[in-house]
Structure 1
Amino acid sequence: MKVPLQSVYNWYRGLIRNPKYRWWVILGTLLYFVSPIDIAPDFLPIVGQIDDVFLLTLLVTEVSGLLIEGFKARKGQVEAQVANTAEDSTSSSATVDVDAVSVK
């Protein structure tokens, strides 16, 4: 059974998009770090640390993804509240946002 690495990666990224599975990955990674059972024991010179580094990278990626999504969600709520209060406090004139582009 030969499974290309890219297909495994695509499956993993699709699985992680579900927030429930993201929490399971974080919980499983934390449990792996505190567990005495290890895939590759750390007394092996390089191989022992590779699995730990891989899982630490996985943990940092998932936690930072959660933090960034939470920050964006809160920022969006704050901006929406500010926009609603700004509309209520000003007259009923319409505001147009324009992106400036330099012309050479």
Structure 2
Amino acid sequence: MKFSVQSLYTWYRDLIRNPKYRWWVILGTLLYFVSPFDIAPDFLPIVGQIDDVFLLTLLVTEVSGLVIEGFKARRGNIDANVEVQATDTTKDSTSSTTVDVDAVSVK
């Protein structure tokens, strides 16, 4: 089995996006942050804080991303309902629908 930082990040991200385990992962991350038992002990000058800062940054990034996605989804549902109502009242046989797609390359 190969270990990589990317696989660890992907595992953490998938786990925190799962609603069943989300709060357990957040609680575990916060407990790890305040715990004196770390991968790199905190009494080491710089190395001791790197793992805490990395994990806390990862937690804040993922939780803020989830909040933003939830906000956009709620706002998108409201905007979609308004747009559907507006297009229903002005149906025209000559109108066309344009779909704008942001392309992303996949490796």
The answer to whether TM tops 0.5 is yes
* C-alpha contact (below 8 Å) 2:15/2:21 kept by paired residues: yes
Give the 3 Å change call, closer, same or farther, for CA 49–81 of structure 1 in structure 2: same
Contact 2:15–2:25 (Cα < 8 Å) also in 1: no
Q: 1:50 to 1:23 in 2, by over 3 A?
A: same
The letter for the 2-side match of 1:28 is: G
Report what 1:93 is aligned to: 92
CA distance in 1, matches of 2:62, 2:14: 13
On the 8 A contact 2:36/2:42 being kept in 1, the answer is: no
| TM-score, normalization by structure 1 | 0.68
How many equivalent residue pairs?
97
Identity of matched residues, %: 67
Taking the aligned partners of 2:99 and 2:90, their CA distance within structure 1 comes to 23
- Which piece of structure 1 moves more, 45-54 or 20-29? 20-29
Q: After the TM superposition, which segments of 4 or more aligned residues of structure 1 sit over 3 Å from their partners?
A: 6-17, 97-100
After the TM superposition, which residues 1-104 of structure 1 pair with which residues of structure 2 at under 5 Å, given as runs?
A: 3-5=2-4, 6-33=6-33, 35-39=34-38, 40-88=40-88, 90-94=89-93, 95-98=95-98
Look up the equivalent residue of 2:3 and give its one-letter code.
P
Q: Mark the runs of 5 or more structure 2 residues left unpaired by the alignment.
A: 101-107
- Determine which structure has greater relative contact order: mean sequence separation of CA pairs < 8 Å that are 6+ residues apart, divided by chain length: 1
Unaligned runs of 5+ in 1: none
Q: Which structure has the larger Rg over C-alpha atoms?
A: 1
2: CA distance between counterparts of 1:97 and 1:52? 49
Looking at structure 2, the residues matched to 42 and 65 of structure 1 have their Cα atoms a distance apart, in angstroms, of 28
